[in-house]
Structure 1
Amino acid sequence: MKSVNVGMIGYKFMGKAHSHAYRDLPMFFPNSLKPEMKVICGRNEEAVAQAAKQFGWEEYTTDWKSLIERDDIDVIDINAPSDAHKEIAIAAARAGKHIYCEKPLALTLQDSREMLAAVQEAGVKHMVGFNYRFTPAVMLAKKLIDEGRLGEIYHFRAWFLQDWIIDPNFPLVWRLQKEVAGSGSHGDLGAHLIDMAHYLIGDISEVIGMSETFIKERPIPANMTGLSATSDENSPKGPVTVDDATLFMARFANGALGSFEATRFATGHRSTNSFEINGSKGSVIFDFERMNELQVYFTDDAKDVQGFRRVLATDAPHAYSEAWWPAGHTIGYEHTFIHSMVELMEAFTEDRQPVPNFVDGVKCQQVLEAVELSVEKRQWVKVSDL
């Protein structure tokens, strides 16, 4: 097996990111299996035809059901809106296709569990798109924790701050509609924070949260592309049915404490995705807007030079460094997707499940819903009760 044939459903923001990853992977990871970009699928024929040409796909289609039945397709890549994930993933699994699905895995915990059951019953490989795990600086933080160099972990605090819908006249895009997106900043941004916590610290045992929708109505969009949209001057308004901001506190199974903040109303923050971890022997700070760096502090440094140091995670021995540029030359957001696809290709070569997979997607969904229940009941909720 030298290559893997991919059929992708979705062609906008994530479709472009995934397509870029498939195209660049063979150039920088020549020993990896090669993803063959066979078919891209979308509902708008004119738009998906343009995407196929622009992104480099061999064919396009508007019928995802016929796509998953094709004998020449090995992997179905799902980056359509969240409300489409379940139906497509279950059908793809039953057709014997391996699956890469964007996060959040589904609209509800029950839906995500049904998706996991389907892929396990079919025996196919499955992966979920928590791409930030594959940032070399984040992987360095993981290494420091696993090696015990931060000691016993006491605190994990994380925040994902954006401001792209701060204008009350910004249109009612699908991400602001619960029936399509499942939730707002909580499921879109908070899901990444929760998965990062699971990856770095471990399972979350209980949560308590609060959320708010600051703008209750918005103009109906005339068109949408990625995170952009426009509306007519006289467009009617529709209700915003998701959260604009959600904050919650958490206890981890290992005794650590956590705090999480996800908002689209943090003026001046375009995409501040950050965490800080404090342990008995040291701390780390990460900010994705400076994604090549990890701030590191160790308590056993000499007292006259104690303080956070800046580590540039771009060259050996940091993860994936051998594939990229000379020392000190940075990589970007798109590389996290390339690294994700490398993991997927390696899983085929080694005949194992890639990580993170649908098990991780279900765990994330479980915490998301525990927080939502906590907001509703205004009390602590045990994640294991869901």
Structure 2
Amino acid sequence: MTLEVGVLGYRFMGKAHANALSRLSMFFPDAPDVERSVLVGRDEDALSDAADQLGFESIATDWEAVVDDVDVFYNLGPNHVHAEPSIAALEAGTPVFCEKPLAPTLAEAERMADAAAEAGVPNGTAFNYRFVPAIQHAKGLLEAGELGEIHHVRGRYLQDWLVDPEAPWSWRNDAEMAGSGALGDLGAHTVDLLRFLVGDDDLAGEMERVSGHLQTFVGERPVDGSDEMRSVTVDDAYSAQVEFENGAMGTLEASRFATGHKNDHTIEIHGSKGSLRFSLERLNELEVLRADENRGYETVLVTDESDPYVDHWWPPGHVLGWEHTFVHENYEFLSAVASESSETPRNEGGETAGAGDTFEPSFADGLAAQRVLEAIEASDEKREWVSIS
């Protein structure tokens, strides 16, 4: 069976996923056959050029004509176009993979998650950092109890692409289109990674309450190619304190104004038996400390064939990169779609089981992250701790 994939969006994320789709069969022989069927956008000329570059067979300027005519729908557009096309595809029974954050607002994310639950088809939120081999290795250490009881969790995501006040305005600077700034764009990744790593009840559990602070440093920016200035209506940076269900404490932070940091997503987890550290800028490495060995942090190069996903790529020590995470998540999501298509899972009562168990992170995970982001924003507005509903 060949899965016909329709993709909305052809810029940054469109390129990342098109690249991943093109490499699936070469490195993952057991992946389902995929056809890059139709690329969706508004500008027909730019769309035609992108389709040629990215290997799509056709183009469409109306997503409504596509969502029920493909086997899988990828929504990789700006945040404000996540809800309606994704919901329409789900209502048509089409599996949907959507970029993060799931939506600009919690209300829209709830609508999307409800539609996914009702549709009963595979659905995914694009938290690609779950699929870094070093993160998967860290997950294994945590599940095995090697860090013991979790006490402290830290997550930061630092970039510097907006430090220059003359950097041009984009949709990412607009609250109506983006929902939030660094909070949703970067913080969503951090929240999801921490939920993935320590969200189990026997570790730290879910995040329970937060105290947040948002800041905008530059209030308006020039529109590229004109003399116009537009207001910046989202945050440039955020920080938050977090209390987890088991009493563990955490700190979260993200900024687009962290001079000298290009794409530094760092996670630290400290437990009663040990600690670990990870940075996306050194994504093949995991730093691990075991308290009983009294040797300090050891750097583990996660490139052996026995490490998650690595056997599909190069010999040990030949490192992977950022783009490989997209191959891994596309492999997992499309395998779930193919499995669902060939044999719909049933629950004990004989009814069709919901697809939330067929791929993670699902829309339900995207909604869970959105609840944390919403609570951080509400905390900043109220200037007090806010419980996560």
Structure 2 length normalisation: TM-score? 0.93
Report whether the alignment pairs 1:299 with 2:283.
no
- Aligned mates of 1:51, 1:336 — CA distance in 2: 22
The list of structure 1 runs, each at least 4 consecutive aligned residues, that deviate by more than 6 angstroms after superposition, is none
Aligned residue number for residue 346 of structure 1: 335
Classify the secondary structure of the residue corresponding to 1:57.
coil
- Aligned mates of 1:281, 1:150 — CA distance in 2: 5
Classify the secondary structure of the residue corresponding to 2:82.
helix
- Greater mean alpha carbon deviation, residues 10-19 or residues 109-118: 109-118
Report whether the alignment pairs 1:198 with 2:191.
no
- Aligned mates of 1:273, 1:258 — CA distance in 2: 15
Aligned residue number for residue 226 of structure 1: none
Alignment of 1:157-176 (within 5 A): 157-176=154-173
- Aligned with 1:110 (options 94, 107, 110): 107
AA paired with 1:340? Answer: E
Contact 2:95-2:337 at 8 Å conserved across structures = no
- Aligned mates of 2:246, 2:327 — CA distance in 1: 32
Report whether the alignment pairs 1:40 with 2:68.
no
Aligned residue number for residue 218 of structure 2: 215
For residue 67 of structure 1, report the CA deviation from its aligned partner: 1.1
- Aligned with 1:380 (options 380, 385, 389): 385
Contact 2:51-2:57 at 8 Å conserved across structures = yes
- Greater mean alpha carbon deviation, residues 135-144 or residues 60-69: 60-69
Aligned residue number for residue 52 of structure 2: 53
- Aligned mates of 1:3, 1:144 — CA distance in 2: 37
Classify the secondary structure of the residue corresponding to 2:19.
helix
For residue 265 of structure 1, report the CA deviation from its aligned partner: 0.3
- Aligned with 1:358 (options 343, 360, 363): 363
For residue 349 of structure 1, report the CA deviation from its aligned partner: 4.3
Alignment of 1:119-198 (within 5 A): 119-198=116-195
For residue 350 of structure 1, report the CA deviation from its aligned partner: 4.0
Equivalent pairs counted in the alignment come to: 367
- Aligned mates of 2:49, 2:139 — CA distance in 1: 40
Classify the secondary structure of the residue corresponding to 2:208.
strand
Classify the secondary structure of the residue corresponding to 2:260.
coil
Contact 2:48-2:59 at 8 Å conserved across structures = yes
Classify the secondary structure of the residue corresponding to 1:379.
coil
Contact 2:73-2:95 at 8 Å conserved across structures = yes
For residue 78 of structure 1, report the CA deviation from its aligned partner: 0.3
- Aligned mates of 2:338, 2:171 — CA distance in 1: 37
Report whether the alignment pairs 1:8 with 2:11.
no
- Aligned mates of 1:215, 1:355 — CA distance in 2: 37
Aligned residue number for residue 346 of structure 2: none
Aligned residue number for residue 280 of structure 2: 288
- Aligned mates of 1:280, 1:323 — CA distance in 2: 35
For residue 300 of structure 1, report the CA deviation from its aligned partner: 1.3
- Aligned mates of 2:317, 2:215 — CA distance in 1: 42
Q: Percent identity?
A: 47
- Aligned mates of 1:341, 1:258 — CA distance in 2: 31
Classify the secondary structure of the residue corresponding to 1:6.
strand
AA paired with 2:330? Answer: M
Aligned residue number for residue 257 of structure 2: 265
AA paired with 2:126? Answer: G
Unaligned stretches of 5+ in structure 2? Answer: 200-205, 341-356
Aligned residue number for residue 26 of structure 2: 27
Classify the secondary structure of the residue corresponding to 1:307.
coil
Report whether the alignment pairs 1:82 with 2:74.
no
AA paired with 1:376? Answer: E
Structure 1 length normalisation: TM-score? 0.93
- Aligned mates of 1:349, 1:321 — CA distance in 2: 23
Aligned residue number for residue 352 of structure 2: none
- Aligned mates of 1:283, 1:45 — CA distance in 2: 51
Contact 2:68-2:93 at 8 Å conserved across structures = no
- Aligned with 2:304 (options 288, 302, 315): 315
AA paired with 1:23? Answer: S
Unaligned stretches of 5+ in structure 1? Answer: 222-230
Aligned residue number for residue 374 of structure 2: 369
- Aligned mates of 1:84, 1:42 — CA distance in 2: 11
For residue 345 of structure 1, report the CA deviation from its aligned partner: 2.2
- Aligned mates of 1:81, 1:332 — CA distance in 2: 24
AA paired with 2:96? Answer: I
- Aligned mates of 1:243, 1:312 — CA distance in 2: 36
* CA displacement 1:138-157 (0-9 Å, x = unmatched): 11111100000111111110
Report whether the alignment pairs 1:252 with 2:244.
yes
- Aligned mates of 1:280, 1:369 — CA distance in 2: 31
Report whether the alignment pairs 1:333 with 2:333.
no
